[in-house]
């Protein structure tokens, strides 16, 4: 059985971020090799500034209290933890070009690559997840 988990993060809201990083850290803590490909709005999740202020879906803002009460870690904390556990981040080159972003806009130690970089990793990953 493959020991890889491949994740595509293509949305940039707060809920999206939790889905991505919860699964990623849980998988890494279970000794899986994990890569996340951040593309389009998904790049928000590792953007130095944007990751601190990810938005809730419209009309769901009232969940903010629930997050606080449940003592859920913040997204920057989860990002740091994921990297510490060895999760590899790949930022989509094409999206970065379109949005005028460079590696300096993102957290440290990310890789920049194209779709094929991710596909190569994902070809024998079970599961591959898209958020």
Using CB under 8 A, list all residues that contact another protein: 22, 25-26, 29-31, 70-73, 81, 85
Cα 110–123–102 angle (5° rounding)? 20
**Residue 95 CB, nearest approach to another protein (Å):** 27
If the CB atoms of residues 70 and 104 are measured against another protein, the closer one turns out to be: 70
If the CB atoms of residues 73 and 115 are measured against another protein, the closer one turns out to be: 73
**Residue 67 CB, nearest approach to another protein (Å):** 9
Give the 3-state secondary structure of residue 122.
helix
**Residue 73 CB, nearest approach to another protein (Å):** 6
Each residue of 36-71: b (16+ CB within 10 Å) or e? Answer: bbbbbbbbbbbbeebbeebeeeeeeeeeeeeeeeee
If the CB atoms of residues 64 and 72 are measured against another protein, the closer one turns out to be: 72
Element of type H or E holding 47: none
**Residue 70 CB, nearest approach to another protein (Å):** 5
């Amino acid at each position: 059985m493959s020991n890889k988990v491949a994740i595509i993060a293509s949305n940039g809201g707060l809920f999206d971020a939790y889905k991505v990083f919860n699964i990623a850290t849980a998988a890494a803590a279970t000794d899986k090799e994990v890569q996340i490909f951040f593309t389009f709005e998904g790049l928000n999740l590792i953007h130095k500034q944007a990751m601190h202020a990810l938005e809730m879906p419209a009309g769901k803002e009232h969940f903010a209290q629930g997050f606080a009460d449940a003592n859920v870690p913040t997204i920057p904390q989860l990002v740091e933890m994921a990297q510490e556990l060895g999760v590899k981040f790949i930022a989509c080159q094409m999206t970065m070009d379109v949005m005028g972003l460079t590696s300096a806009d993102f957290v440290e130690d990310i890789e920049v690559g194209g779709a094929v970089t991710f596909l190569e990793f994902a070809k024998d990953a079970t599961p591959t997840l898209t958020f």
